[in-house]
Structure 1
Amino acid sequence: MKIINVVMKKMAFAFIRKMQFVVILFFCGFSFAQENESKVTDTLVPSNSPIAIEDLDLHYFRWKSENNHRNDSIKIFSLSPISRRVNTVNGFALGVGHYENKKIKLQTINGLNVEASPLSIALFTISINVPFESFLVGINDNVISNVAFFDDVTKTYIKINGLNISSGGFTGGAEMRGMNVSIISGMNTMNGFSVGGILHTENFAGLSISGFANISESGNGIQIAPSNVSRRHNGIQIGLFNHSKNLRGVQFGIWNTNGKRKLPLINWQFKK
């Protein structure tokens, strides 16, 4: 029996040693496979290439910031002044008007903009000379330089594509493409049809009918008002007083001046 026990112990010891050896081999093989797998994935973005990882991050965040808006950046309806968190209104904007905000670069309205603006009352109360001087600007365009309302050119902060109806109007920094109905407006650009009391623009294209004056730095189209001024104008001016330093077109009025001549009733200029 002693001999049998000794043999059994030796066999058990040998079996244990074999199992330990198998376990060690299995563990080594598993670890080696894991290492190889990590190396394969690392070939997509090498571990020793931090520039590639940084570029991927930068491109991702740049894409997020440039091509994706916040959920509330586009609205169908908005009150005005529009919240600085809203970039675009596709539909209808209603309120008291739009005013320059340094935290807002540009906002766009595609559709209808309606304003109950106190601007017209303020201008006609505080600066009663605005309509009076605007009426005379067709005789002497230097007269309007004394009106503070028209002194500054403001960078565009609001664009409207569609219809604008206002009891007041803009004081600058606006671009309008469509139809404008307002008492008094100062815009950077007006393309389309405008009717109101006074329209002052840097660039005008279309038809403007005003009760007091049409004033533009550069115009293309038709101006109809008691007093019309466009320093560079291609088209027609119809009113009591018409003035254009650089005209390519015809003027109809009591007194008409352009770069060529000064005449009553009708005047024209087609060349320098």
Structure 2
Amino acid sequence: MKKQFFLIMTILISSLMHSQDSLSHKNEKAKIFGVSPSKKTKNVNGVLLKYYDEIDNEITPKKVNGLGLGFNGLGIFFPVLLLVNIGSINSWEINNADFEDLPKKMNTINGMQLAIINMEPTVTNGFELSLSSNISAPSVINGVSVSPLYNFHHTTNGVTISTFANVSKKCRGLQVALINVCKDSKGLQIGFWNENGKRKLPLINWNFKSKKEKL
């Protein structure tokens, strides 16, 4: 009995020491300042300066605890192009059949994301502010997303606020904009025109039942 007790204690102590070594190793790798795209940057406890990572190019997923800053210059032109084509808003939707497997390949920002435009596959847990959020990339916002122009996400859990349009495939929460479009919506939409999987209405729209079919 004593031998078994000492054996268990030895295993537990060894496991704890290994865990501490692993944590120390991870902390050593974390940077205060990182850049994206970069295969060397993985964990950042501070600021990530990002330009354009693509899943198709096998990006190295990055975890940021702090601030993500995006300076993609294309963001200056996209809002104008989208404003001209606002009549075809249904074609703006991001549609990824295999989206369930994508988040683990995406960058994760725990904190705040500030960008002219975000064209990187990103999961943001916190607050997001940009001129045109997440265009041409699957993305998730768990928190609040604000844009003076447009908000584009695959999945939104929380609140999205913009002037012209909020477009998502899956929504859980509140959308506020001139035009709100979400095929799988569970929550409220407030705007001049609102569309969800159940109905299309001006001013206010709602749905509190989850969509049963798989996206």
TM-score in terms of structure 1 length: 0.56
**In the alignment, which of 225, 237, 247 is matched to residue 177 of structure 2?**
225
Residue 185 (structure 1) shift: 2.0
Residue 236 (structure 1) shift: 1.0
Structure 1, unaligned runs of 5 or more: 1-62, 247-257
Partner of 1:77: 33
Residue 83 (structure 1) shift: 2.8
1:190 aligns with 2:145: no
Partner of 2:71: 116
Question: Counterparts of 2:106 and 2:64 in 1: how far apart (Å)?
Answer: 11
Partner of 1:157: 106
**In the alignment, which of 142, 155, 159 is matched to residue 207 of structure 1?**
159
Q: Are the structure 2 counterparts of residues 144 and 91 from structure 1 closer, same or farther at C-alpha, using a change threshold of 3 Å?
A: closer
Question: Counterparts of 2:202 and 2:33 in 1: how far apart (Å)?
Answer: 50
Residue 184 (structure 1) shift: 1.2
Question: Counterparts of 1:85 and 1:267 in 2: how far apart (Å)?
Answer: 46
The structure whose residues are more often helix, as a share, is 1
- One-letter amino acid matched to 1:220: R
Counting aligned pairs with the same residue, the percent is 30
Q: Is the 8 A contact 1:84 1:103 kept in 2?
A: no
Residue 182 (structure 1) shift: 0.6
Question: Counterparts of 2:40 and 2:208 in 1: how far apart (Å)?
Answer: 49
Q: Is the 8 A contact 2:186 2:207 kept in 1?
A: no
Q: Is the 8 A contact 1:72 1:85 kept in 2?
A: no
Residue 201 (structure 1) shift: 1.3
The C-alpha deviation readout for 1:132-177, integer Å capped at 9, x for no partner, is 434663xxx3x436xxxx466884431111011112x222411111
The C-alpha deviation readout for 1:69-94, integer Å capped at 9, x for no partner, is 6897320112x225311210011223
TM-score in terms of structure 2 length: 0.70
Q: How many equivalent pairs are there?
A: 179
Residue 122 (structure 1) shift: 3.7
Q: Are the structure 2 counterparts of residues 71 and 86 from structure 1 closer, same or farther at C-alpha, using a change threshold of 3 Å?
A: farther
Secondary structure of 2:39 counterpart: coil
Partner of 1:99: 53
Residue 188 (structure 1) shift: 2.1
Residue 183 (structure 1) shift: 1.1
Partner of 1:249: none
Partner of 1:58: none
Residue 270 (structure 1) shift: 5.1
User: Which has more radius of gyration?
Assistant: 1
Q: Are the structure 2 counterparts of residues 270 and 188 from structure 1 closer, same or farther at C-alpha, using a change threshold of 3 Å?
A: closer
The 5 A counterparts of 1:1-272 are 73-78=29-34, 80-94=35-49, 96-100=50-54, 102=57, 104-124=59-79, 128=81, 130-134=82-86, 137=89, 141=90, 143-144=91-92, 150=94, 155=102, 156-167=105-116, 169-186=117-134, 187-196=138-147, 197-246=149-198, 258=199, 262-269=200-207
Secondary structure of 1:240 counterpart: strand
Partner of 1:47: none
Question: Counterparts of 2:205 and 2:76 in 1: how far apart (Å)?
Answer: 36
Q: Are the structure 2 counterparts of residues 91 and 245 from structure 1 closer, same or farther at C-alpha, using a change threshold of 3 Å?
A: same
Question: Counterparts of 1:135 and 1:200 in 2: how far apart (Å)?
Answer: 16
Question: Counterparts of 1:170 and 1:182 in 2: how far apart (Å)?
Answer: 8
Structure 2, unaligned runs of 5 or more: 1-17
Q: Are the structure 2 counterparts of residues 266 and 112 from structure 1 closer, same or farther at C-alpha, using a change threshold of 3 Å?
A: closer
